[in-house]
Amino acid sequence: MMLPFASLAVFGLALFSHVSATILQNGQVKPTNYPDTRIDLTDYSFQTYPANASEISYKGRWDSKHVSWWSAPGIKFGYTGQTVAISFGNLTSDGVLVGYRIGGLDWMFTNITAGATHLLVSPDTPGSNLTGPINPWTFELRVTNWAYGVQIDAVHVDAGEKLIKIPDFDRRIEVIGDSLAAGMYTSYEGLSSWAYGLGAGLGNTEYSVTAYPGICAADQNCWGNPRGQVHQWFYTSDTSYRASVMHGDNPEPWDFSKHPAADLVVINIGTNDNNKANNVSTEEYIDALTKIIQGIHGKWPKAQVIVMSLWLGFYQSGNTYLPNAPEGWVNEIYQMVKWFNSDDYLRNPIVYDGVTKKTSRSGKKAKPFVHYFNTTGIMQHNDIAPQWHPTDVGAIKVASHLQQFIRIKFDWDLYATGPEVFHDTLYWNDQSGY
Ligand SMILES: *[C@@H]1O[C@H](CO)[C@@H](O)[C@H](O)[C@H]1NC(C)=O
Ligand SMILES: *[C@@H]1O[C@H](CO)[C@@H](O)[C@H](O)[C@H]1NC(C)=O
Ligand SMILES: *[C@@H]1O[C@H](CO)[C@@H](O)[C@H](O)[C@H]1NC(C)=O
Ligand SMILES: *[C@@H]1O[C@H](CO)[C@@H](O)[C@H](O)[C@H]1NC(C)=O
Ligand SMILES: *[C@@H]1O[C@H](CO)[C@@H](O)[C@H](O)[C@H]1NC(C)=O
Ligand SMILES: *[C@@H]1O[C@H](CO)[C@@H](O)[C@H](O)[C@H]1NC(C)=O
């Protein structure tokens, strides 16, 4: 098979250079003339909150300087008045595209300038004066691209108005993956990914997408990512060039004790390990995936883990298309899941802290916590884009099937019954005869 992820090797992004590129969508130039929302702070008299204000909730992984990492990280808060402005720090990737919205209304997009203040909600913003049913008004922002990030410096509302803390939802999902979960090559990248769609689509669920393009499960360099998820998942920052510039060899460990445990962890990783160019053996891969699961079990003893089978796209065979199987360690992953559910293992489970493994024997048999999600048959040939990643429709299919699986298996209600999840996916026909 050819090297589907070879293009990942080439994105060495300069940290402080301007983020801009011509995007081809279905072979056409995609318009990226998003509104310029920059303002001069001195023209306004705002009520200002610092980045560490307790009213601001950070979603996904952010470091101690309020810099965002991984895919679709965000912030959320309630506010009074009709104005929200944000000052972004110098460690922002200049020009990075963010999505933001009020309540459950449509996502809006703007490019952020490092060190600038952006006026994101004003009386002119559609919906900014609508008083319900979501009350207080909530503002949410998400970074679209995994390789870039923002630094929050301050949040502003009108003088005399205030921020309001919105309590976290009590359900929590973590997705661990690579480009396939990070949303590479979908329209709005992280904000069009199946991982985001799963969390946002379930509704009333906090979600964090610890996924980065090109990364392996095994701890080795894959497509320029210096470490694998078996190591990096324990850290705040990802494996980007941006992280290497900002944190060097000394990334901040993710402080699991300061953040609530996930209830459900979805793992979709191995396509890069499986790529011959990265030379990861079956044993090394299964060992790394096993340690990731034991790491989750160590950090979050009550979390349920869903392991997704890998898919590798399709090829034309005569007059139809067939999956690129049986590659993708389909059987090995399934056998590993069975092993996690065996009496032998459950009587003597192992936990991993990122460095060492130890037995967590408590005298009684542990409850099964590892589940297999079979992706075969969900996507078809036209759900995979030319560069081997799900299209927007493919991502929506994966998210939707996962939602039903989670509803049936774990009895989770689908609480999102209206708010926009995927932007720019409203395809319709308004003619009944033509
Ligand atoms: C805005 O972001 C998009 C997506 O990254 C990019 O293609 C575009 O060039 C950016 N525009 C500006 C003005 O920075
Ligand atoms: C925010 O940071 C400032 C300066 O370090 C500190 O004085 C303040 O107590 C912090 N506020 C919160 C809510 O942590
Ligand atoms: C950001 O950079 C500008 C220009 O170099 C500097 O004046 C400012 O102090 C910096 N701000 C922060 C928060 O580092
Ligand atoms: C909100 O503002 C729009 C545009 O100015 C206006 O047409 C609408 O009547 C306002 N709605 C409310 C509830 O004030
Ligand atoms: C792949 O790994 C094997 C075993 O570790 C090693 O012998 C071989 O030289 C490696 N091949 C490449 C191309 O790195
Ligand atoms: C996954 O689904 C495919 C298609 O239904 C089926 O052929 C295969 O046996 C399933 N794998 C497992 C391990 O259940």
Tell the residue number behind the tokens 């699961």, with chain if given.
Answer: 293
Nearest CA to ligand 2 atom 9: 52
**CA 198 to ligand 2 center in whole angstroms:** 34
Query: What does the angle CA 242 – CA 270 – CA 8 come to, to the nearest 5 degrees?
Result: 40
For residue 337, which phi and psi values (nearest 5 degrees)? -60, -40
Q: Is the C-beta atom of 35 inside 6 A of ligand 2? A: no
Ligand 1 centroid–CA 175 distance in Å is 27
User: What is the tens place of the pLDDT at every residue in 207-262?
Assistant: 999 999 999 999 999 999 999 999 999 999 999 999 999 999 899 999 999 999 99
Cβ of 65 below 6 Å from ligand 2: no
Mutation test of ligand 4: which of 82, 129, 130 has the most ligand atoms closer than 8 Å to its C-beta? 129
Is 50's C-beta closer than 6 angstroms to any atom of ligand 2?
A: yes
Tell which wins on pLDDT, 191 or 8.
191
Q: Give the ligand with the smallest distance to the CA of 127.
A: 4
Q: Considering only CA atoms, which residue is closest to atom 10 of ligand 2? A: 52
Ligand whose nearest atom lies closest to the CA of 52: 2
Instruction: Give tens-digit pLDDT for 391-400.
Output: 999 999 999 9
Cβ atoms of 159 and 45 closer than 8 Å: yes
Atom of ligand 3 minimally distant from the CA of 115? 1
> Would you give the DSSP letter of residue 132?
-
Matching residue, tokens 């998210």: 399
With the most atoms of ligand 6 within 8 angstroms of its CB, the residue from 310, 336, 339, 374 to mutate is 374
Give the ligand at the shortest distance from the Cα of 278.
Answer: 5
Whether the predicted pLDDT of 150 surpasses 60: yes
pLDDT at 363 over 80: no
- Which pTM was predicted? 0.94
Short-list 18, 37, 147, CA closest to 86: 37
For ligand 1, atom 14: residue with the closest CA: 95
- Distance between CA atoms of residues 193 and 104, nearest Å: 18
- H or E element, residue 158: strand 152-158
φ/ψ region of 242 (left if φ > 0, alpha if ψ in -120 to 50, else beta) reads alpha
| Dihedral class, residue 290 (left if φ above 0, else alpha if ψ from -120 to 50, else beta) | alpha
DSSP string, 346-386: HHS-EEE-SS-EEE---SSPPPP-EEEE--TTT--GGGB-T
For each of the domains in the chain, give its residue range(s) and CATH number, in order of start. 5-10+169-410 (3.40.50.1110), 36-164 (2.60.120.260)
Question: 178 with 213: CB under 8 angstroms?
Answer: yes
Measured from the CB, is residue 52 less than 6 Å from ligand 1?
Answer: no
Distance from residue 16's CA to the centre of ligand 3 (Å): 13
Pocket of ligand 3 contains residue 89 by CB under 6 Å: yes
Task: State yes or no: pLDDT of 87 exceeds 60.
Answer: yes
CB proximity list for 283: less than 8 A, separation 6 or greater: none
What pLDDT score does 326 carry?
Answer: 64
Core vs surface per residue 405-423: b (16+ CB within 10 A) or e: bbeeeeebeeebeeeebbb
Does ligand 2 come within 6 angstroms of the Cβ of 54?
yes
Any bridge partners for residue 176, and if so which?
Answer: 210, 267
Give tens-digit pLDDT for 294-313.
Answer: 999 999 999 999 999 999 89
Residue 156 phi, psi (nearest 5): -120, 145
pLDDT at 12 over 50: no
Q: What is the pLDDT of residue 431?
A: 87
Distance of CA 191 from the midpoint of ligand 1 (Å): 15
